[in-house]
Homo-oligomer: A and B are copies of this chain.
Amino acid sequence: MAASIKPLGDRVVVKPQDAETQTAGGLYIPDTAKEKPQRGTVLAVGPGKVENGTKVDMTVSENDTVLYGKYAGTEIQLDGEDVLIMRESDILGIVNG
């Protein structure tokens, strides 16, 4: 899916993964008790920031699954979905495989 937004600088658009709706034991978790997810899929990647006249390349790419802190990014409505726009420096790591 191509996001209909072009992030500026070193920003990244991330679609949070759905929070678990069942516990490991099979109980349904009510909405208010769900933990805010800290894992998501990269939808769009900015061109990278410019530092002292040099462009710094981005490390993450579209479709990467990434981990981020609980308070990272700004929530934006995009094409009817809640997505996050955050700086690449707010991304903690890329999940393999």
A: interface residue count bin: 20 to 34
- What is the total number of copies of this protein in its complex? 7
Q: Could you tell me the distance in whole angstroms from the C-beta of A13 to the nearest C-beta in chain B?
A: 7
B52:A8 contact, CB within 8 angstroms: no
Residue A69 contacts which of B4, B13, B60, B74 (CB distance < 8 angstroms)? B74
A50:B56 contact, CB within 8 angstroms: yes
Given contacts A53-B54, A92-B74, whether A67 and B97 have CB atoms under 8 Å apart is: no
Residue A4 contacts which of B46, B50, B91, B96 (CB distance < 8 angstroms)? B96
Name A residues whose Cβ lies closer than 8 Å to a Cβ of B: 4-9, 11, 13, 38, 44, 46, 50-54, 56, 59-60, 67, 69-70, 74, 76, 85, 88-89, 91-97
Beyond the given A8-B92, A9-B59, A67-B76, please list 13 additional residue pairs across the A-B interface where CB-CB is below 8 A: A4-B95, A4-B96, A5-B94, A5-B95, A6-B94, A7-B93, A8-B91, A11-B92, A11-B93, A46-B93, A51-B53, A67-B85, A69-B74
